[in-house]
Amino acid sequence: MIEAPEPRFARIATMIGDPTRARMLGALLGREYMTAGEIAHASGVTPQTASAHLAKLCDADLVVARTQGRHRYFRLTDGDVAHALEALALIAERDATADPVAGKWSRGSYRRLREARSCYGHLAGRLGVALHDALIGRGALSFEGGAARVTETGHDELLAIGVDARAIAGGRRGVAYPCIDWSERRDHFAGPLAVAMLDHFVARRWLLRAPDSRALTLTAAGRRSLTDWLALASG
């Protein structure tokens, strides 16, 4: 009997499957860079334990480190890692008998995450899905060969809310690409444009980041400025 080789993803699955490392990766999904101390706090472990796990995550190419002055900052290696984690979250939350609107998504911290959260620098949750629908509905994006680009109409529409899309360089998949939202079971957009838009919303204080959470809060100014874009109820 010929022994089958171990799938290459097995090592990664083992790395992600550790509860402490899973909490660390979940924390890093919400922002670009975190210090080891911030990651330790978010994961509920000591700094020494966090450092040991971070070294393993770096060796596995799931996390990269950047040294600046006396501090080291960590982030997910790239969007592919983030999307793999989101896909695993989607599978973990899947329940064919559950209504995604009901149950835990209507309670406590889950409700806030479902409304709006950051996912590796872009907007996810109900507001992320609404932004995806608005970009398509307004004809702001066109898709050629699977890659998205901003249309002339889109440039005007985005500039009206302060986003200069001409300054955004697209990657191999263009300026944006769909990513399945694990609470909504629908697409939101990832990619350079989505990251730039979330950065702009936060800088203008239209959205506020919650401490120690991926949750984002829509402010009154954000509601006034984004009502049309996000199909929000006025008032």
Lowest model confidence (mean pLDDT) among 7-11, 13-17, 97-101, 117-121: 97-101
CB 21 within 8 A of CB 39: no
Task: Identify the H or E element spanning 27.
Answer: helix 19-28
Please say if the pLDDT value at position 195 is more than 70: yes
Q: Which residues contact 100 (CB under 8 A, 6 or more apart)?
A: 183, 184, 185
Size (the chain), residues: 235
DSSP letter for each residue of 66-80: EEETTEEEEEES-HH
pLDDT band at 96 (very low <50, low <70, confident <90, very high): very low
Q: How far is CA 74 from the centre of its chain?
A: 16
Lowest model confidence (mean pLDDT) among 4-8, 71-75, 145-149: 4-8
CA separation for the pair 122, 119 (Å, rounded)? 5
Cα 79 to Cα 48, 50, 63, 120, 177: the distances in Å are 27, 22, 11, 7, 11
CA separation for the pair 182, 26 (Å, rounded)? 13
Closest by CA position to 135, among listed 229, 233, 232? 229
Please say if the pLDDT value at position 197 is more than 70: yes
Please say if the pLDDT value at position 123 is more than 90: yes
**87-95 contacts: CB < 8 A, separation 24 or more?**
87/180, 88/16, 89/182, 90/180, 90/182, 90/185, 93/182, 93/183
Q: What percent of the chain has pLDDT over 90?
A: 50
Task: Average the pLDDT over 28-32 and give the result.
Answer: 78
Q: Cα–Cα–Cα angle for 90, 94, 100, nearest 5°?
A: 95
Decide yes or no: CATH 3.40.50.300 for domain 9-76: no
All structural domains of the chain with their residue ranges? 9-76, 98-226
* Amino acid type, 48: Q
pLDDT band at 107 (very low <50, low <70, confident <90, very high): low
Please say if the pLDDT value at position 134 is more than 90: yes
